[in-house]
Amino acid sequence: MNRFFALARPFLDAGALTHAEVEAVALVAPRFHEANVEALLGLAFVAAAPRLGHVVVALPDAPRLWAAAARTGRHALTSRDRDGESLSEDEDSAALPWPSDLAAWHATTLASSLVGARKPFVAVPHSSGVPRLATHRRDAEEHAVATLMLARAARPQTPPAAIDALLHGLFGTEAHGEAANAVRLASANSLAIVTGGPGTGKTFSITRLLAALALSETEKDPLVVRLAAPTGKAAARMGEAIAEGLQSVALPNPLRERLGSLKAETIHRLVGLRPNGTVRHNAANPMRASLVVVDEASMVDLSLMRTLLHALPDHARLVLLGDPDQLASVEAGAVLGDLVRSPLLAPCRMHFTTSRRFGTAPTLAACAHALQTRDDAQTAQMAQTAQAVAYLTGKARAEGETEFERLRWLGEACGTRGFVNREQLDALVAPYRSTFLATLRALSDSPSESDLVGVLEALDEYRVLAVHRRGPLSVATLEAAMERELLGPVDADTGREGREGRLRHGLAVLVTANDAESNLANGDVGIALRINGVLTCIFAGDSASQVRRVAPARMPSFDGAFAMTIHKSQGSQFRHVAMVLAGRPSPIQTRELVYTALTRAKESVRWVGSERELELALATRTERVSSLGTRLSPAPFTA
């Protein structure tokens, strides 16, 4: 194995491979009598592919796919990095010693004794005739997701007998519009994939679906609904939106109260995922449900989707809601995108086109619309990019725009190290001063429950979003600057507590880990407040008029929340958003990232960055290599 480690050393030093990946291949090689060091190197890259989001890999593509990881120096591109971690750029990023004949390298690796049925690695057929490579685990996950999705798509449901009359009562004159047709689709199928941009009516249609099915349930066949999302924040937002949407539905009060009391949960909690990786619900013990609705499906990775599908009873309807133009999942795969592109699943798919989110901000709406994928042609995408850049830089505005400040460019970050200047910092902090800080200062020493709800609502009016977690223009730098501006210098505060003295009165906190003891989930946002002289962290409660209180000593791991990564903001929405670009080349600064940041806002966006940097970001697409789309095609794995 010494020759293998020597061959892998430059890739380890550059961060393209990790020691765990290399050592895992070295560990299993003797068992299968594999001694070809080039094949072992190829398999190390196959093992590394999921870390970069890829499920399968063709080794001739490896230099291109790993170029971003190689630029990160000795720091490997982990899933934590893709969630906004700053990547080192001060290491030598010279060309790596890839094998001279990449096609021969791929062929040698395919011929390895570690590749095959019941082996650690699998050759996955491809339409080109040259198989791709995958780990056994990822291949099994793709096979399971494709098989279960196709089986569910082929399993019809019996819609309510009076569905047209029900929809006429629920939708009135729009009984044949997009939302009503989505309800028809979901009521008649075991699988419904409802996609569209923000504010297009996906959640609106779900409230009507719940109403239609609830009005048609029988004692013998009761409606059992489960609502879920990938993160705690997205689940909370989903529950709030559905409860709010039900208020406008004509239903008997007991039924409205019953549906309005439904709680959305994380998918992990829905399937009963335990810390050791086992699950409560699986094919042998499916969950109790007749309708399962999953929001923010673009964030669901391959492994989690397989786990979810195995946990569903055969008779249940599954409805997936999502925006395929948003960021893909942090972990491996781009499941929603593959499902949307599958011709076999087209009968189960509904795409919404009319957005109502940006009713008072037509330029913001037009900018988001320009970034949605409507044409694969390069010339069309270039035109859309140019249009979006014109909106964001103030060179164009949409018809009907009355307040051009809805999209405000704050200019390029100053200096070679790329920090925001005084004027930019003031502009980033100003919305917090006028909403959150004003509400915070108005709190009494003994605030009422409604006052505490009010300060949480004021915090959620606005958020600053950045690309990376660390670095000059990162969440860490912006968070520290805004904390000083809003709460004063650290040494002036004598009441810091919890998690090594990180908490102080007025600090916004973002939970970064699921914690059953405190009933907090990754992504939950709260505020540390001194109430009656005691520092307490408050979070949104079980109802809109309640808060949860968590003692500092019981807080799970957290970050500040005045600034957060764009990845972490998925599933959230704010009236106003600030977007701070990285100020340097970044492999994660893509069109999807910018689109996701813009569509977190309902009314306005201000942003920091250069025009050239914005153009490069919008011209860069997230690439995920998988074979799920092929498995979901009419003739999989044929030339």
Band (pLDDT 50/70/90 cuts) for residue 51 is very high
356-375 average pLDDT score: 77
- DSSP, residue by residue, 620-633: PPP----SHHHHTS
Cα–Cα distance measured from residue 453 to residue 311, given in angstroms and rounded to the nearest whole number: 36
141-161 average pLDDT score: 94
pLDDT of residue 114 exceeding 70, the answer is yes
CA distances from 288 to 225, 259, 270, 291, 296 (A): 9, 17, 10, 9, 22
pLDDT of residue 501 exceeding 50, the answer is yes
Ramachandran quadrant class, 300 (left: phi over 0; alpha: psi -120 to 50; beta: rest): beta
Cα–Cα distance measured from residue 339 to residue 632, given in angstroms and rounded to the nearest whole number: 8
Band (pLDDT 50/70/90 cuts) for residue 331 is confident
485-491 average pLDDT score: 82
Task: Give burial (CB, 10 Å; 0-12/13-18/19+) of 90.
Answer: exposed
> What integer pLDDT is reported at residue 73 of this predicted model?
32
Cα–Cα distance measured from residue 208 to residue 195, given in angstroms and rounded to the nearest whole number: 16
> What integer pLDDT is reported at residue 66 of this predicted model?
81
> What integer pLDDT is reported at residue 172 of this predicted model?
82
Cα–Cα distance measured from residue 227 to residue 65, given in angstroms and rounded to the nearest whole number: 36
> What integer pLDDT is reported at residue 403 of this predicted model?
65
Continuous segment of H or E residues that includes residue 336:
helix 335-341
Degrees (nearest 5) of the Cα angle 221, 227, 231?
160
Average the pLDDT over each of 124-128, 249-253, 516-520, 554-558 and give the range with the smallest value: 516-520
| Beta bridge pairs of residue 422 | none
pLDDT of residue 35 exceeding 80, the answer is yes
pLDDT of residue 152 exceeding 90, the answer is yes
- Asked if residue 435 lies in contact with residue 462, where contact means CB atoms within 8 angstroms, the answer is yes
502-516 average pLDDT score: 88
Cα–Cα distance measured from residue 535 to residue 528, given in angstroms and rounded to the nearest whole number: 7
> What integer pLDDT is reported at residue 84 of this predicted model?
41
User: Tell me, what DSSP letter sits at residue 156?
Assistant: B
The residue with greater pLDDT, 389 or 233, is: 389
The b/e string for 234-254 (b: 16+ C-beta within 10 A; e otherwise) is bbbbbbebbbebbeebebeee
pLDDT of residue 512 exceeding 90, the answer is no
pLDDT of residue 77 exceeding 50, the answer is no
> What integer pLDDT is reported at residue 498 of this predicted model?
54
Going by C-beta distance under 8 Å and a sequence separation of 6 or more, which residues neighbour residue 436?
A: 455, 458, 459, 461, 462, 486, 508
Cα–Cα distance measured from residue 128 to residue 125, given in angstroms and rounded to the nearest whole number: 9
pLDDT digits (tens, 9 = 90+) for 207-240: 999 989 998 888 788 999 999 999 887 888 888 8
> What integer pLDDT is reported at residue 217 of this predicted model?
83
Average the pLDDT over each of 25-29, 212-216, 520-524, 590-594 and give the range with the smallest value: 520-524
- Asked if residue 110 lies in contact with residue 133, where contact means CB atoms within 8 angstroms, the answer is yes
125-130 average pLDDT score: 86
First to last CA, the chain: 38
What is the three-class DSSP state of 309?
helix
> What integer pLDDT is reported at residue 176 of this predicted model?
84
> What integer pLDDT is reported at residue 495 of this predicted model?
56
Task: Give burial (CB, 10 Å; 0-12/13-18/19+) of 282.
Answer: middle
Residue 294: φ, ψ to 5°: -115, 120
Cα–Cα distance measured from residue 369 to residue 598, given in angstroms and rounded to the nearest whole number: 11
What is the three-class DSSP state of 283?
coil
Residue 513: φ, ψ to 5°: -150, 145
What is the three-class DSSP state of 582?
coil
CA distances from 458 to 292, 310, 572 (A): 32, 41, 14
pLDDT digits (tens, 9 = 90+) for 582-619: 988 787 888 999 999 999 998 899 999 999 999 999 98
- Asked if residue 468 lies in contact with residue 579, where contact means CB atoms within 8 angstroms, the answer is no
pLDDT of residue 92 exceeding 70, the answer is no
Cα–Cα distance measured from residue 460 to residue 538, given in angstroms and rounded to the nearest whole number: 13
Strand (E) positions, 25-152?
121-124, 132-135
What is the three-class DSSP state of 226?
strand
Cα–Cα distance measured from residue 542 to residue 429, given in angstroms and rounded to the nearest whole number: 30
Q: Find tokens 């989903």 and name the residue.
A: 238
Q: What does pTM read for this prediction?
A: 0.86
Average the pLDDT over each of 134-143, 264-273, 407-416, 531-540 and give the range with the smallest value: 407-416
Average pLDDT for the chain: 87
pLDDT of residue 85 exceeding 70, the answer is no
- Asked if residue 461 lies in contact with residue 559, where contact means CB atoms within 8 angstroms, the answer is no
Highest mean pLDDT out of 22-31, 169-178, 464-473: 22-31
The b/e string for 150-162 (b: 16+ C-beta within 10 A; e otherwise) is bebbeeebebbee
Cα–Cα distance measured from residue 243 to residue 231, given in angstroms and rounded to the nearest whole number: 18
> What integer pLDDT is reported at residue 453 of this predicted model?
93
pLDDT digits (tens, 9 = 90+) for 449-459: 999 999 999 99
Cα–Cα distance measured from residue 157 to residue 514, given in angstroms and rounded to the nearest whole number: 35
> What integer pLDDT is reported at residue 90 of this predicted model?
35
> What integer pLDDT is reported at residue 519 of this predicted model?
81
> What integer pLDDT is reported at residue 506 of this predicted model?
93
If we measure between CA atoms, which residue out of 294, 303, 225 comes closest to residue 266? Answer: 294
> What integer pLDDT is reported at residue 244 of this predicted model?
86
- Asked if residue 432 lies in contact with residue 562, where contact means CB atoms within 8 angstroms, the answer is yes
pLDDT of residue 632 exceeding 60, the answer is yes
Average the pLDDT over each of 259-263, 418-422, 466-470, 600-604 and give the range with the smallest value: 418-422
> What integer pLDDT is reported at residue 100 of this predicted model?
92
- Asked if residue 589 lies in contact with residue 617, where contact means CB atoms within 8 angstroms, the answer is yes
> What integer pLDDT is reported at residue 639 of this predicted model?
41
- Asked if residue 420 lies in contact with residue 497, where contact means CB atoms within 8 angstroms, the answer is no
Residue 274: φ, ψ to 5°: -95, 160
Q: Find tokens 């030598």 and name the residue.
A: 92
Band (pLDDT 50/70/90 cuts) for residue 68 is low
